């Protein structure tokens, strides 16, 4: 599905997100859901793929993408980010 909810108002969009997830779970099928909406992607997904110029920049669970972006592009794409240029010594 490509941007299936983009033309809907906020209330209807939220309702349809729930309905689509329930339909997907009930039927046990995979949806490929394309969106540019950074809030909609994690709400609708078990796994997220962030693309940059046609290439997969990062993939993972919505939590992984949000908590551990692997690049400046991914961090900026998923929303406001606080980037501190430092090297992590341990996790």
pTM of whole model > 0.75? Answer: no
Cβ atoms < 10 Å from Cβ of 86: 6
pLDDT in tens, 4-43: 777 788 888 888 888 888 888 899 888 888 888 777 888 8
pLDDT in tens, 54-87: 999 999 999 998 888 898 899 888 876 666 777 8
* Torsion angle, alpha carbons of 57, 31, 34, 55, to 10: 20
Question: Token pair for residue 45?
Answer: 């997904």
Residue (of 41, 51, 52) closest to 6 by Cα position:
41
């Amino acid at each position: 599905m490509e941007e299936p909810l983009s033309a809907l108002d906020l209330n209807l969009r939220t309702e349809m997100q729930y309905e689509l997830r329930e339909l997907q779970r009930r039927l046990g099928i995979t949806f490929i859901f394309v969106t540019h909406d950074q809030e909609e992607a994690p709400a609708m997904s078990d796994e997220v793929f962030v693309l940059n110029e046609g290439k997969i920049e990062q993939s993972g669970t919505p939590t992984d993408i949000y908590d551990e972006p692997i690049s400046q592009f991914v961090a900026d794409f998923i929303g406001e980010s606080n980037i501190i240029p430092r090297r992590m010594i341990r996790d």
